[in-house]
Amino acid sequence: MNEVFVMGALLMTVLYRHFVGPVLFFKFFYRNLKRWQRFKIQKKAPLIEKIKFDKKNTFKSAVVDLSIIGIVFVLYARGHMKLNFDFDLDWQNIASNVVVFGLLFFIQDLYFYLTHALFHRKKLYRHVHAIHHHSTNPTPWTSFSHHFLENFVELLVYPLVLYFLPLNFFVLIFFVLTTTTINFLGHCGFEVESLSLSRFRYFKWVASFTFHNRHHQYFNGNYGLYFTIWDRVFKTEIK
């Protein structure tokens, strides 16, 4: 695989996470606020000072993304990472990658729940996680507005997974882009209830946009990222 292509794909992913994505999602929802107002979870508009604060920290957190990419490349070069660059479209390869893709959601969700709940411990919250909760009425810019330590711990899941699980580079990039988009939607401040999967009986285990918004409103509870499973198991769900 061409090294320039790989680095280009990774840099474009970082750019999407910390600039392009927040800009696009913010403009989509907040430039047309009257159109989306009936879907606004918290009816008041977010404060401009809070948005500026989130923007500053979002730009800073891009440095952590690049650091994690550097760590992965060093460990991969030394043979410690199970990463392949095959682009084989036979049905067996596709099926195995679909399974791995789904597995990544459950692994990251459990990892995120445990570390997220940890960062809500008194001292860690005050010195680290409080930055993310600076905005109680979140916007897409809040998605990656983190303290560098929290951002590093959050992204550490990727080197850990790559150490134990053989992954395809293209599947990994698609997973990061997909979960990043979910993150933007989870912080956008709107819940399109008529389209939300959470309205249906068999999707009650899926964390809706309102689910995470309540976490920013009430702070303690709803620690899950994609699913409500662990909040229900550990009785931390805010209804």
Is pLDDT at 96 greater than 90 in this prediction? no
Q: Where are the domains of the chain?
A: 3-192
CA distance 212 to 231: 12
Residue 192's pLDDT is what? 63
Residue 159 zone, left/alpha/beta (φ > 0; ψ -120 to 50; rest): alpha
Report CA 17 to chain centroid distance, whole Å. 9
CA distance 66 to 72: 10
Compute the average pLDDT of residues 78-100: 80
Question: Above pLDDT 70, what percent of the chain?
Answer: 93
CA distance 185 to 182: 5
Compute the average pLDDT of residues 50-57: 94
Give the confidence band of 1 by pLDDT, cuts at 50, 70, 90: low
Count CB atoms within 10 A of the CB of residue 232. 13
Among the listed residues 17, 21, 27, 22, the one whose alpha carbon sits nearest the alpha carbon of residue 61: 17
Residue 27's pLDDT is what? 92
Q: What is the pTM of this model?
A: 0.88
Compute the average pLDDT of residues 148-164: 92
Range from 36-40, 142-146, 184-188 carrying the lowest mean pLDDT: 36-40
Is pLDDT at 207 greater than 80 in this prediction? no
Residue 2's pLDDT is what? 63
Pairing of strands 167-168, 83-84: parallel
Residue 57's pLDDT is what? 94
Return the higher-pLDDT residue of 114 and 163: 114
Residue 15's pLDDT is what? 95
Residue 42's pLDDT is what? 84
Phi, then psi, of 84 in degrees rounded to 5: -120, 160
CA distance 203 to 135: 28
Is pLDDT at 142 greater than 60 in this prediction? yes
